[in-house]
Structure 1
Amino acid sequence: MKAVLDACVLYPAILRELLIGAARENLFQPVWAPRILEEWRRTAERHGHSVDADITLLKQEFPQALTEPVGVVLGVDLPDPADLHVAEAAVAAGAARIVTANLRDFPQRRLSSIGLRATHPDEFLRDLCRQHPQALRRIVDQALARARAAGSSLDQRTMLRLARLPRFGKAMLRMDAQDAG
């Protein structure tokens, strides 16, 4: 399954790590366009971070992810016309999903007319967890280990809550409880 990752799920880092971890496990194929990567870069810079190296590495690791939606005409209006490029990238790449935290900007009624669905990252990761629980366990454990290696004292629940993934966090807690019981 191909899914466009909107800029708002590439920053913050924890959310990006979880999504890219799922892509590394071949649970989905990520898609982005140059404009999405540029939005991510600008957002990170506004928060005092540079993601140039991250962008370069992702382009190398997922060369098929980069799509250029040149000449794509959707025939659909979105609440914010500046978001059309995300839907255009999805159509150009043959992706059926847009993973975004800004669901208001991608109304389902309008997207379904062009064969797309917008999904919040919380729902997206929860769905992947239902299908591939052990892979998601590894991905979360790796993200938590990287956060701790960088000096964080976060626990799993707090990390996922800060990443605005409450339902996915609960799914992980249920999985932990089942494994312990």
Structure 2
Amino acid sequence: MRALLDACVLFPTVMREMLLGAAAAGGFAPVWSERLLEEWARATRRLPEGAEAIARAEIAHMRDRWPEATAPAPEELVAGLSLPDPDDRHVLAAAITGGADVLITLNRADFPTRTLARHGILLREPDGFLTELAAEGIDLARVAEEVRSRAEAASGRPQALRPLLKRAGLPRLGKALAADG
């Protein structure tokens, strides 16, 4: 399965690390466009100094790890698509050219399911998507523990897994992993 990761799910650290960890564990093949990666990097400019450099280093690592993930969003395809927000057409175009089966976003209203279905693409939010992968046997408990450990090291404070995932917008995943633990 190929899944396009919208910029809004790449920006939050814990959410991004869980999604990329799930991809690394074999749950799916990620897809993105250069424009989506650039949107994420630019969004970090409102964070403390150095955040953009960190994001760009992570982007370089992602490109190295998944060289086949970058999909073009040709202008002629973008121009022919219709979405509630015309600025999101490039996202759908990248999903189409990247062969995505799923588009993962927090912006459900911007991507009508009928429009996506015409291109054979399902719309999923990260929490439900990751919870389903865990139910299918992808080892997200290990991924979550690695993410929790990094969050703890970065904050200098203990981080309980379920509240960390809840704060990251992944409450169902946190509940599912707690039930399995």
**Is this a same-fold pair by TM over 0.5?**
yes
Q: Does 1:37 align with 2:37?
A: yes
**Alpha-carbon distance between aligned partners in 2 of 1:74 and 1:132, rounded to the nearest angstrom:** 40
Moved over 3 A (4+): 73-76
| Residue ranges of structure 1 left out of the alignment (5+ in a row) | 177-181
* Residue aligning to 2:57: 53
Residue number among 92, 96, 99 corresponding to 1:94 in the alignment? 99
Per-residue CA deviations over 1:127-170 (Å, capped at 9, x if unaligned) read 1010125x111100110111112224221011101111111111
TM-score (norm 2): 0.91
Question: Per the alignment, in what secondary structure is the counterpart of residue 98 of structure 1?
Answer: strand
Shift of 1:59: 0.7
**Alpha-carbon distance between aligned partners in 2 of 1:92 and 1:109, rounded to the nearest angstrom:** 18
Q: Which amino acid aligns with 2:4?
A: V
Q: Which amino acid aligns with 2:19?
A: L
Q: Does 1:28 align with 2:24?
A: no
1:62-77 maps to which residues of 2 (within 5 A)?
62-70=66-74, 71-72=76-77, 75-77=80-82
Contact in 1 for aligned 2:78/2:90 (Cα 8 Å): no
| Residue ranges of structure 2 left out of the alignment (5+ in a row) | none
Q: Does 1:106 align with 2:111?
A: yes
Per-residue CA deviations over 1:100-121 (Å, capped at 9, x if unaligned) read 0111111112211221111000
* Residue aligning to 1:9: 9
* Residue aligning to 1:179: none
Q: Which amino acid aligns with 1:144?
A: R
TM-score (norm 1): 0.91
Contact in 2 for aligned 1:74/1:88 (Cα 8 Å): no
